[in-house]
Structure 1
Amino acid sequence: MKCCMHVVDSDGPITSFTNTSWEKFRSSVFLWKGLNCRESAVAEDAVQTFQLEESQDPTPVPNGIGYHRRCYQHFTNVTKIRRAQMREEKAVLFNNAVTEGKLLQAAEKNDDHTILLHIKDEDCVALGVQYHRSCYREYTRKKTTKVEEPTFDVSYKMFCERIIRQRLINNQEVMKMEQLQKIFTVMATSIEGLDASDYSEVKLKSRLRRDFHQLVFQTLKRCPSQLVFAESPTETETPMDTTQPSPAAEQPSQSGETTPSNSATEEKTVDLHTTPEETRTLYTAALLLKTLLSDAPPPQDVSVNEGLTVVPLELFNLVSWVIGASEEPTLEHTVNIPDDLHLKVLSVCQDIAYLASRDQKQSVCPWHLEDENLHVTLRTKPS
């Protein structure tokens, strides 16, 4: 016996047909027939050899034939048959000279001799040349050459050295991403003579994230640009050894008595130097207040009650905390402070709001509240 549907390159035992397997093979033959594939050639040969007809009536199994199990599984696989039929359905004929001309132009442009050999100086419509729509569309579409954008490598290297390493990392400065992008644009123009105005903040930020893992990009509420700063390395503080007295702690007198030195009686000086984290916190708070003031209505001559609606809540509470008028840490409402400080704090806040809006044209000075005894905070104190 031999395999009558040998479509898989494999050897193995030949299995005899049963009535069921034979009918399934026979129905698969007519599904494969007419397609442009290897299985179709096997189907055409089976029709000629076994005199098969497309009928509903079962036919007897011919003698001396069988099948490899893998060949049978492949040939009768309905999914494979459907896929082959779908591929054939997508193949269409050239029906006009326009499609033929585009194919010829694409083949000549690509110097594709495998295509030119069949279609050059030929009538594809008359020859019945077929194509898949997706293949034709991909082959004939105009391929645009992607223009490589400049990377400003020289300027970027100098930018990282002068700005990122020196100012952000070494000096622990805090800068806005918008400010960094402007600096980079200026450096690219001055160093390489290139216009980097189209080099977006997103690209620069992605590049900085890749090269400097210690950089932090902090997004602030109501602030359009991110803050950029470097994480400060953890410093291990060396504890002071207090077991040994300082040389000047005790000074023996001529009579043998010890007298405390002046340094022992002096009040200890408090170290007021802020850490980078505290600096960033203060700067972040200032930017937040700046944004709030920019969104607030311009200051005008208002009464005390109206002044509370003009001054941002965050600013009023901050000033109250700074002068020690309140210890209530909340931004849900205006903190309660003594009446004798209320007008003064409100006046300070209005002065700050006026300075923040100094670029706007003001017809009158905004800090005159309805209290003739209120000291105007921007006046100089008389000597």
Structure 2
Amino acid sequence: MAATPHAENELSPKFCCMHVVTNTKQSLTPFKIKSWSKFIECQSRWQNLDCFEGEIARRTTQQFGLSLTQTEPNVIPGSGYHRECYQKFCNVRRLQTAESKRRKLQTDEDADIESDCGNEGDSSVLLQASSSGSKVLRSSFKTPQHDKQRKDVLSNVCLICQKDAYLKTITGARSKVKLTTCERKEAHILLEAARLHGDHRILLQIEHKDLVAIEVRYHNKCYRNFTRGVIEMKSTAEKESKFEPSFKVFAESIVTARLIKGQEILRLKTLNVLFRQIVKNTQALDASHFTTQRLKVQLRTRFHNLVFVKPSKRFESEIVYAKDINVDNIVERVAEQFQTPISECSTTTSDESDARTTDATADDYTRLRTLYHASQIIKSILQNTTSAPRWPPTADDLTIDAARNIVPVPLFSFLTWCVGFSDEAELTDQVCISEDNNQRILSLAQDLLYTSKKGCILLPKHSSLAMTIRHMTGSARLIGMLNRFGHCVSHSMVLEHDTALAESQLKRGDDALPDGEQDCFTTLGNHIR
């Protein structure tokens, strides 16, 4: 029985009618009624477009004379399609995108033609007006729809960086940063920042102009970086103006009366204490946060005849005095302060009080110097301690003996002397104290080491305490609270330690015993052995 044309086309397709994927290796598929109607519909739309698919559609139409009225798939003998070609050729979204691009190009061409016609019309209006001698009106000209950028408006770019900025989204794609239009309250800040930086390019564009009218645009990040200095100056000025009434009283009663006219020499710290008292008495405000540096800036700004001298000892405050001070008066004053009485008869009650004051000041200075030097010695001991136990720390690394080997001997002896556990002066070996006191001193010493190293050191106390709390309670919040007080490591460090112990045990094998354990045979095993 002979096969019908429809069946022959369906069984043995010879070529692809929409071969847009050239390197496909798929087999040909015969047309059905639905796939043929879809192909004819897209064929009629593609052939009006200037693209590769449109060229294929026009070639197929010219070769086989296709039209929308041909709804049967057996019109082209031996025709079929590849699945990839069909998916690409009959993709409605790709087709709509191509059509929208075509319409946009057509709109731009029409606008250019209208602009050319408008220019010709404007020239004809000028010729008619010149020949007739009539006045040329603005309404006689046609305004184009796509007007160019106005001369009195800045271009649509960032005024500060003069370029586009991009940000990466969560998916990794780049998105253009939007520009912010300048508002009225921000105009003077931008102008002051340009003057502060001496940026003549920006000043040429915005100085003596309305920034809102000329539509100044910028990126928010560029604006923050450019105006940071002006905003900080304004905030500092606002803070200083808060104590302005008190500073006027301080300037008259202390600076002018004592430093300049009285030619006294005072410490900057003493001046700051006096200023705080004046603020409390004058404005009833708390100025405890007012630092000596802020006071120094204020004094230098308003009194140019003051001299600030930094002492050789770093822990001492700066010395402040007037520039035109009389050296002879200062020498005489110092000589009177430190002179020794000739006889007991000439010694008065005031001299005795001055002597006691001088002795007390000398004792305070000696005590301060001793404490400072001791602190520097302890600081160098803490900084030079570099104990790095093996990772992960095992039970042998978390014992009292291990902690005793880590803590430096001078630090242990110093803490023992401070709390009064021993008066024995010994630096070559740890001082002998009771076991309970020994554990307390080791705990304090490890806390000092952990704090000085900012938690970047493994110590027996901090590792073992955190691991014990985790295994006894399992509370991450409790470990976090103790970690914030500096008593143990963080919860994440405990998890890392526990995981490292498990991995090291797995590397040793299933039959290996933990460290510190020995083979112990049963009685029957010993008898057989």
* Structure (1 or 2) with the greater helix fraction: 2
**Bigger relative contact order, structure 1 or 2, given CA contacts below 8 A and separation 6+?**
1
